[in-house]
Amino acid sequence: MFTFHRVVSFHLGYAPFAEDVLDLGEDTPHHERTASVRYRAGLLRLYQPLILPLGNAFFLDVVAVDHDLGAHYEVVARVAVSSSAAVELAEYLSNHLPGTWSELEESEPFQRLP
């Protein structure tokens, strides 16, 4: 039998928050999705040592969000609320996201939360 776990989503944006949109290139859904995939890969690299032990209680995904101007893409952390460690990591991520691509891609991976 399957056990149902309530899952909550933490929206993390589609790129580091301090990057100027014009510096990211074209403002199109395709470009936004490409930036979101790069952003997710960077977050996975940075937080993988903390994500792996959580198993399926924590998952980073790129999702399309319907918008009146078309699809909008962003990275979402999906978290099983039954895992306090997964919720803690998602809350930490939401409040301490890397501000730039350099910070995201050049920082050492986290071995534990500060």
CA 14, CA 80: separation in Å to the nearest integer?
Answer: 22
What's the pLDDT score for residue 58?
96
- For 18, phi then psi, to 5°, come to -90, 0
Query: pTM of the prediction?
Result: 0.87
Number of domains composing the chain: 1
Structural domain range at position 41? 7-106
What residues contact residue 14 under an 8 Å CB cut-off, 6+ apart? 32, 35, 36, 39, 72, 73, 74, 75
Structural domain contains residue 58: yes
Q: Is residue 23 predicted with pLDDT exceeding 60?
A: no
- Tens digits of per-residue pLDDT, 25-52? 667 777 888 889 999 999 999 999 999 9
The residue among 25 and 109 whose pLDDT is bigger is: 109
Burial class (CB in 10 A: 0-12, 13-18, 19+), 18: exposed
Structural domain contains residue 114: no
Q: Is residue 2 predicted with pLDDT exceeding 70?
A: no
Structural domain contains residue 111: no
